[in-house]
Amino acid sequence: MPKLIPLILLVSLVSAQSQSFIHIDQFGYLPTATKVAVISDPQVGYNATESFQPGSTLELRSFESDQVVFSGSPTTWNGGSTHSQSGDRGWWFDFSSYTSAGTFYIFDPSTEESSAPFEINENPYHELLQTAFKAFYYNRCNASKESPYAATGWTDGMNFTNALQDANCRYVNDRSNAALEKDLTGGWFDAGDYNKYVTFAHTSVHDLLSTFEEHPEIFGDDWNLPESGNGLPDILDEIKWELDWLMKMSNDDGTAHIKMGSIDHGHNASAPPSANDDRRYYGPTCTAASIAISSMFAHAAKVYAGQNDMQSFASELEQRAIACYNVFIPAFNANALETNCDDGTIKAGDADRSEAEQLEIALIAAVYLFELTGESTYNDFFTAYYDDAETISAPFWGPYKIELIEALLLYTTLPNAEASVASDIVNAATTDVNNNFSGFFAFSEDDLYRAYAPDWMYHWGSNMPKAQVGNLCHMLIKYNVNPGSHADLLEKATEQLHYFHGVNPQGMVYLSNTYAIGGDRCANEIYHTWFNDGTDWDHAINSLYGPAPGFVVGGPNEDFSVSAIVPPGGQPPQKAYLDFNTGFPENSWEITEPAIYYQAAYIRFLANYVNDQAVTSQVDLLLATDCIELFPNPTSGIFQIRGILPKYKIEVFDNMGILVQAVDVLGSDANIDLSSLPAGTFFVRVENEQNANLCFQKILKQ
């Protein structure tokens, strides 16, 4: 008869299949937060053949003791109607009244369906924030990825410093002219390719700078970067990696090159980054690039001026911001802004900005330069043109112009701001918040998954505005716009966060490969050249390493261009997603491509829910042991255990607590073969026979 271990039963059902109907934030909840699980019964879309009917009572169980700590009845959503955006009908299970810290899961005793385990504590997302932040380090161009800063599997040598690459980059329109070579090393890979874009960095840099301004206490100098310990918070070290490159892309006279990279889609398309040696080129100077750098540098100068030993750097940023601004203004006044600089020779994204977009960026630059210098010329420009921005003229305070909204609201706080202009800005914001036409500013029961957005927001890169809605809500609270709406704004924002962590129709964490920090169904594949289809980094479960953890994917896209691929084609908006990373003609980049701007928006959003408090309540089987190492994990069949094994008793159990294998240990390594077993979650139980201590590791089998 199979041997049952009561402690193992605590884990209940945590396989990928068992998560399909009970949707929770897989990382956890703050104790006093609203805590609602969504139970789904698919009706329309790729999983319409599945069905689920929960029992009349659901239980919140302790993961450690398996005791029921709370029970209640799920409430039917919207009278049993099918939710049009997801194609599901469903129920809500509210366990908000339970506030004790610990590790828990939700269990349906009538069906034996279980959720993934999750935390309730005062700081459930701190490790997730560090993991998501580390994606920028992995995206560093012209930097080797070395241990201990890079985890096993994601180390790599120096990249893009071969002949005629970034250290001696040539001008794309005069490729044989060695006199025009430039050192353009540094910066981040923008998204799925290895190219670097000045204008595309604009939102990312502003969001990360604002993240630090809003929460300086949570960003230490010990987040495991090469610069850690230098006296500067690591987030500012990471931003500086991009700023130093932007400094090289701009010239002393204030002109700035718009982008740099490869001139053919097939060039520099190998994994890992160090494997590429095709030439790289920089593009022409453009007014859009100049004003984008002015805007970023003016904000950065403000932030770095407050850091020890960074005043010289801050001054350099300020002077370059002014020089770039002074290139933009004459072109603007002469109606000669450049809007077609990027002809597509350097692949792939079009980095041009329209005249209206350049004006809005200039308004941002003017606010920060006015704050820095107090000079009236910047105030004069801002007050002359602020009401041309859509944010004021419509008014539309949406999630697509967060850095502009920040600058507008910042202006209202400056001591020399014109009172009438500040009043116009506050009135425009208040009007849009009160109208709430798009549902951005208050929680709505219209979304089964509790993170309402209009259908038109589920486009390419939908996860960015999803995050920016949360940032917008927090920003309106930060600047005390319409104080009576603060509770609604906070409720709206918090539910947006849970959407990223599993409260969505896929039951998926929309970040790559976060199994090791608490995710139980993650984005396994992302469209990124390093983590490309067919490479060792292809898939988190069935390739050697999988993608590096913590990259935010683009998200559901109802406008996906290849309708024959179902899903994402032919789905309700929230189900227009597929976990894949193939290239042309499947075009997975429209769904799973990460980008530095998605990443920065999410990091800024998540930081609102992180503090510097240490947490000891976690019962995380992946992290509860230092006695053994399992790899590869996840596995397609065979995995290896490494450690000081002879003194241990090692057994492998399935997720029902049934012993499936006992390990005979002869040396320091042991191989476990799960090939004959179904996909799911298994647990390795390790007992130290000298002191009877127990530890556990979770292994995922594809």
Q: Quote the tokens at residue 169.
A: 């980059």
State in Å, rounded, how far the first CA of the chain is from the last one: 27
Q: Is the pTM here over 0.95, yes or no? A: no
Q: Quote the tokens at residue 175.
A: 């490729």
For the segment 206-244, what is each residue's pLDDT rounded down to a tens digit?
999 999 999 999 999 999 999 999 999 999 999 999 999
Cβ(518)–Cβ(620) below 8 Å: yes
| Residue found by looking up tokens 């002869």 in the block | 666
pLDDT mean over 356-360:
98
For the segment 131-177, what is each residue's pLDDT rounded down to a tens digit?
999 999 999 999 999 999 999 899 999 999 999 999 999 999 999 99
Give the pLDDT score at 626: 46
Tell me whether residue 528 is in a domain: yes
d(CA 319, CA 327): 13
**579 & 599 share domain:** yes
**109 & 31 share domain:** yes
Q: What confidence tier does 541 reach under pLDDT thresholds 50, 70, 90?
A: confident
Spell out where 30-157 has E strands.
36-42, 58-62, 68-72, 75-76, 88-94, 102-108, 113-114, 118-120
CA within 13 Å, CB half, 151: 11
**487 & 585 share domain:** no
Element spanning 629, H or E: strand 628-631
pLDDT exceeds 70 at position 396: yes
User: Nearest CA to 78 among 111, 108, 38, 118?
Assistant: 38
CA within 13 Å, CB half, 668: 2
Tell me whether residue 381 is in a domain: yes
CATH at 678 = 2.60.40.1930
Give the pLDDT score at 628: 61
pLDDT mean over 477-483:
95
**478 & 513 share domain:** no
Counting DSSP H helices and E strands in the chain, the numbers are 15, 23
**524 & 482 share domain:** no
CA geometry: angle 140, 143, 144, nearest 5 deg: 115
For the chain, how many structural domains are there in total? 3
d(CA 232, CA 526): 32
Among 484, 505, 526, where does a domain finish? Answer: 505
**446 & 390 share domain:** yes
Percent pLDDT > 70 in the chain is 89
Q: Which of left, alpha, beta for 578 (phi over 0: left; psi -120 to 50: alpha)? A: beta
Task: Collect all residues with Cβ–Cβ distance below 8 Å to 579 and sequence separation of at least 6.
Answer: 508, 523, 524, 525, 592
**529 & 649 share domain:** no
d(CA 385, CA 110): 63
Domain that holds residue 654: 628-701
For the segment 548-583, what is each residue's pLDDT rounded down to a tens digit?
999 999 999 999 999 999 999 999 999 999 999 999
Q: What confidence tier does 697 reach under pLDDT thresholds 50, 70, 90?
A: low
